[in-house]
Each structure stands twice: as structure tokens, then as C-alpha cells.
Amino acid sequence: MTEELERFKAQALSELEAIAETGELEAWRIRHLGRKSPLTGILRGLATLPLEERRRLGAAANELKVFLEESLAQKRQALREAETARLLAAAALDVTLPGRPWPQGGLHITTQIQREVCDIFVAMGFQVAEGPEVEWDYYNFEALNIPKDHPARDMWATLWIDYERDGERPMLLRTHTSPVQIRVMEQTRPPVRVVVPGKVYRYEATDATHEWMFYQIEGLAVDANITMADLKGTLFQFARRLFGPERRVRFRCDYFPFVEPGVDMSIDCFVCGGKGCRLCSESGWIEILGAGMVHPNILRRVGYDPEVYSGFAFGMGLERIAMLRHGIDDIRLFYANDLRFLRQF
């Protein structure tokens, strides 16, 4: 019997030796280690043998089984290595070359500025709110003290949605983030302190300073005893945090139907320090936002008593802020998807 095992062993090894491809290994395994292989036959027959012989033969047969299994594993490994070497040689692949880096994404410049501006106001106790870009005439104009046929509507070249109701077209793409003032006040009672970033749309030809879609951020604070001093102090702090601790600000009268009084705020030009240069059109000042005290009509409309509550609101274009911060001279670069531009930020 042991001689038989020796023969099995010699036969199996010489066959294994001859194999040149991993695909043939399985057939070899079935032949020599499978259920119908002579070795398995011997192992199965052990039970019928006398004890002494069973021990001896059993040990030898099991040893052979383990030996063949190990030989198979070694052969498989050797073939695999040889195949890899062949493939590498065929492809002339230099595995020592450094890998190609994955392109890494980043936040869009507008998103960065939006977060930065929000963070400044959040640190002052404002919450962040959002509203729809497709808006009703009511929120975009009517509730903001801009009735139908009021000439102030000309301040916002409007993209109307093709939707008729009772012969009117009350739906539009919001022209500013101010409608969210109304939406927020409808939902809450004072005190209100929110900032509202988001996209706005204008029916306008594009040029270096105009896009038909851009971003604004709105601010609104309403409470008892809010005064113009709160407006000025808040926006002054904001300007200094965003544009540097030396900044001076200037408020001038301006008109927006939903505030009274209305102002615009400028910062002193950080390029020329106020002496006058190209950036500030020789004026020394750069206008960055519109603001004012919330008009009593608006408070009344949302059910706030203007005898008890007052507030201030402001709004600014985010791209303009980014352009000032980074010296970008054309707003059309923002959404032209040119990576050479976008990667700079």
C-alpha cells in the first residue's frame, strides 16, 4: 500500500510539474485530490483495515494529501507570478512611475464668499434662512410695498414665468432675496434675525458687471427698539470683518420701496485708501450694499405692530463682494465654467 502511495505521489508531481497555465490546475486537483481520486479511495477504505495497518497507512495517506495540497498552492503561486511578469513585460508597464493624482474638487468662489459672509452674521446672532427662486409676484413685489404699475418695479428687470391666473402673470424668477423677508416674518414672531443667501435673476443683457443670474444675501432684524444705530453698527462691523479692521464706511440716502429711510453703504477704497483710483472710479468709495429701516407697511402686512416693533434690512450681491476681494474684473467669469479661472480660488 505504501508503495502505491509513492507511485501516486510521483505521478501527481510529474503531472503538476508539466502544467504551464493556472487554468489546468483545477483538473489536476480533481484528478489527484478529488472525490474519485485514488488517494481519496485509500482514505475512505481505511476503516475496513486492521488497526495497526490503519494507523500506518492513514498517517502516510494524510501526509501525502497535505503534501499534494501544498504543492498545488505553490504551483498556483508560481504560475501567477510568472503570468504577472509576462503581462508587465508585454505592456512595458513601469510600476515605479509615480501615480497620477485624482483631480481634486473645491468650493466655488461664490460658495466660499457666501459661507464667509454668513459666518460673520451667524457670529452676531443671525440665523440662515432660504426661500424659493421661483416666486410669486406677491412676495417679490406686492408685499414689499411695490404695487402693480408702481414705477419702482422698473428697478428690477424681471423674468416672468409663463403662467396666467385671472389674466395676470403673478409668477416670476425672484429679482432679489427680499421676498424671503416676508416669508420669514409670516412664519415667526419677533425677535427676528436672519440672513438669506440665494440665487436671483434679472432680465438683463450681460456685461462685465451684470449677469442675468447672480447671488445675493439678504439680512433682516426686527425687534422692539431697533434703530438706525443698530443698522449702522451691524453693517460697520460686517464691513470691517470682511474687508479689514481699518475700513471706514459711508451711508448715503437711497431709495428702496420696502425701507424708510433707505440707504446705501460704501466702504473706503482699500486699493487707494480713499485717494481715488480706477477701482473706486476716482471717488475713494466703493458701494457694497443697500439697506434701510423696514417700512411700517411691511410690518403691518405680516401682522407686526409697527408701534411696537421696528427693524432693519440689507441686501448685497455676493459676486460683487468676491470681485472686490479678489480683484476679479468680469462677473461673467463666475459661471462660464472655465477651470483656469475657478481653480485660482
Q: Which residues are catalytic?
A: 156, 176, 202, 216, 259, 313
Based on CB atoms, which residue is closest to ligand PHE, 128 or 342? 128
Q: Which of 172, 222, 259, 288 binds ligand PHE (CB under 6 A)?
A: 259
- Residues paired with residue 249 on neighbouring β-strands, in sequence order: 267
Q: Cβ-closest residue to ligand PHE?
A: 315
Interaction of residue 192 with ligand PHE, rule CB under 6 A: no
Residue 291 interacts with ligand PHE (CB under 6 A)?
yes
| In the complex, least distance from residue 292 CB atom to ligand PHE, rounded to whole angstroms | 5
Under rule CB under 6 A, residue 178 binds ligand PHE: yes
- Give the binding range for ligand PHE (CB under 6 A) out of 56-64, 97-105, 187-195, 313-321: 313-321
> Could you give phi then psi for residue 254, rounded to 5 degrees?
-145, 170
Sign of CA dihedral 88, 93, 94, 95: negative
Q: Choose between 42 and 289: whose C-beta lies nearer to ligand PHE.
A: 289
Per DSSP, the three-state class of 200 is strand
Instruction: Decide whether 158 or 178 has the Cβ nearer to ligand PHE.
Output: 178
Q: In the chain, where do the E strands start and end?
A: 127-128, 134-136, 159-160, 171-173, 192-201, 213-224, 249-254, 259-268, 285-294, 309-317
Mention every residue, 6+ apart, whose C-beta is less than 8 A from residue 231: 263, 291, 292, 293, 312, 314
Using the contact rule CB under 6 A, the part of the chain among 68-76, 102-110, 188-196, 284-292 near ligand PHE is 284-292
Closest CA to 22 of 65, 78, 69, 90: 78
Name the percent of the chain in helix, strand, coil, to the closest 5. 45, 20, 35
Nearest to ligand PHE of 215, 243 (CB atom): 215
Q: Using the rule CB under 6 A, is 299 a contact of ligand PHE?
A: no
- Residues engaged in binding ligand PHE (CB under 6 A): 176, 178, 218, 256, 259, 290-292, 313-315
